[in-house]
Structure 1
Amino acid sequence: MSAFNAEHIAALRQELLRWQGYRPLTGACAEPALGPLNSAFPNGIFATGAVHEFIAARAEDMAATSGFITGLLHTLLKKDNPSLWISAARNIYPPALAAFGIPVHQMLFADLRREKDVLWTLEEALKCTPLNVVVAEVRQLDFTSSRRLQLAVETSGVTALIIRPQPRVLDSTSIARWQIRSLPGSIDDDLPGVGFPRWKVELLRVRNGKPGSWEITWRDGQFAFKEETVPAKKIIPMRKTG
């Protein structure tokens, strides 16, 4: 392949990514310190200014998902830019955010009674450019609603992290779909205590990226990654001929 063709193919790939909602980082934005999670996304950078959904089938998965997302918030926070957490039944304990190094003044909460109000508030918040990240707990999210959310983040550059407890249908335009489960805490030198928070993080689907699975621990104010695990490939026996 000639250098001319390779350059045009690369330009076309970047254009396709922009059409699909990926926003290139500007010079003022640092690459999120997310280790191997970055490599799962196109261009090797975690997708900000995009919609991510987190599936939580059980109550304990909700707690694990909230903890992991709190770690993401710490990593994605920009100086002086607030973030918003929206829910109809708050599953996060605000003072606990301090354990993840999140300044209190940068986190806003909206507690609403009805889920349709949560969805409306989420869409309006994603249009608000001063916000950094918007987290929302939404059980049902159809294709049309998720498309409106995607159009909002493409314009504003705000990142949406949507927690979906026990969803009935998975039909959305989100760039990535995650599933988080808790693991026994990491303890140094067999010391007593609950240990550092640890999760099984699965990236089930990512547009134009590479799904994967990792064991991640939160310690010393950042994510610590165990070696990435790769699902075993299914071996299909060859047919005999003749």
Structure 2
Amino acid sequence: MDRPALLAALRARVGRLERAGAAAALARSQAGVVHLSEDIDAHLPQGGLARAGLHEVLAAEPGAAAGFAAVILGRTGGPVLWIGPDPDAWPSGLVRYGLSPAELVLVRAPRPADGLWAMEEALRCAAVGGALLALSDIDLTAARRLQLAAEAGGALGLLLRPDTEEAGPSAALTRWRVDALAGSGGSAHSLGDPRWQLDLLRGRGSTPRSWTVAWRTTTDRLETEGGTLAAPTRNRRRA
């Protein structure tokens, strides 16, 4: 699909979302934050993950990072766009993390410029709850444009990036690293609930912290295990 056709299709979809989601958009704007867990929320200056802002998720393990992103997006309370060169999000699998396929729009953007444009358009739409852009690298100018778009539209934006040697500077409000841990089942026949090593590497108004967390699939809750560590403890690459 060429760019004009993609623009027309997205605008039509956004128009339908706006007509159907005005009340939900108002409720989201009044909420202010997306809540993660009691321990993590207490460490963040606004008492949760700020809406109307851009956040980064670095994938030390791709499946764990996608799951954490789905938990966040599923709590934005509205339609979600998942954008990438070849978006490999599996809607049926993301249900496990509270992200409904009925609220999910997959956008294929082969070129980085197309992905950035689609992300900016999504974040500026008041009817969109959240948007994710999967990409390898982004410069500060482009990131600042996305932050301004999120502030204008009120949506929560996620940048899903690989955990590289040098992630570089960031205009995002927070930067996280997510790695996988063994599940809670204790055997190959029962993997149990997903468990992650969750590191807050950078955040405006907060200091770095690490948590071991488990996503409780039966209750849709993110729970911390063993309290909060003072900072990332293993030999981390520079953030």
Count of aligned pairs: 202
Report Cα offsets for 1:81-100 as digits up to 9, x if no partner. Answer: 21110011223212112222
Runs (4+) of structure 1 exceeding 3 A deviation are 25-31, 166-169
User: Of the candidates 144, 148, 151, which is equivalent to residue 151 of structure 1?
Assistant: 148
Deviation at 1:153, TM superposition (A): 1.0
CA deviation after TM superposition for structure 1 residue 33, in Å: 4.7
Show the counterpart of 1:45.
48
- Judged with a 3 Å threshold, the aligned counterparts in structure 2 of structure 1 residues 137 and 193 are, in CA distance, closer, same or farther, namely same
Cα deviation digits, residues 220-239 of structure 1 (max 9, x gap): 22111111111399xxxxxx
| 1:222 equivalent in structure 2 | 221
Alpha-carbon displacement from aligned partner over 1:12-45 (angstroms, at most 9, x marks no partner): xxxxxxxxxxxxx865567625222212221333
1:28–1:217 distance in 2 versus 1, CA, 3 Å: closer
Report the Cα distance in structure 1 between the residues aligned to 2:189 and 2:178, rounded to whole angstroms.
25
1:176 to 155, 174, 177: 174
How well do the aligned residues superpose, as a CA RMSD in angstroms? 2.3
- Structure of higher CA gyration radius: 1
Query: Per the alignment, do residues 70 and 142 of structure 1 end up closer, same or farther by CA in structure 2, a change over 3 Å counting?
Result: same
CA distance in 2, matches of 1:64, 1:141: 22
Q: How far is the alpha carbon of 1:210 from its aligned partner? A: 2.6
Taking structure 1 as reference, are residues 164 and 30 closer, same or farther at Cα in structure 2, changes over 3 Å only?
A: closer
Question: Which structure 1 segments of 5+ residues have no match?
Answer: 1-24, 234-242
Q: In the alignment, residue 160 of structure 2 is paired with which amino acid?
A: I
Residue number in structure 2 paired with 1:65:
65
For the residue of structure 2 that corresponds to 1:214, the secondary structure is strand
Instruction: State how 1:79-228 maps to structure 2 within 5 Å.
Output: 81-166=78-163, 169-187=167-185, 192-219=189-216, 220=218, 221-226=220-225, 227-228=227-228
Q: Alignment partner of 2:41: what SS?
A: helix
**3-state SS of paired residue (1:163):** strand
Tell me the equivalent position of 1:36. 39
| TM-score (norm. length: structure 1) | 0.76
Q: Partners in 2 of 1:153 and 1:34 — Cα distance?
A: 23
Q: Once the two structures are superposed, what CA deviation does each residue of 1:108-151 show, in whole Å capped at 9, x if it has no partner?
A: 11012222211111111111110001011021111111111111
Segments of structure 2 that go 5 or more residues without pairing to the other structure are 1-27, 234-239
TM-score, scaled to structure 2: 0.76
Percent identity at matched positions? 30
Residues 232 and 115 of structure 1: is their aligned pair in 2 closer, same or farther, counting only changes over 3 Å?
closer
Contact preservation (8 Å) 1:54, 1:65: yes
Retained in 2: the 8 A contact 1:83–1:106? yes
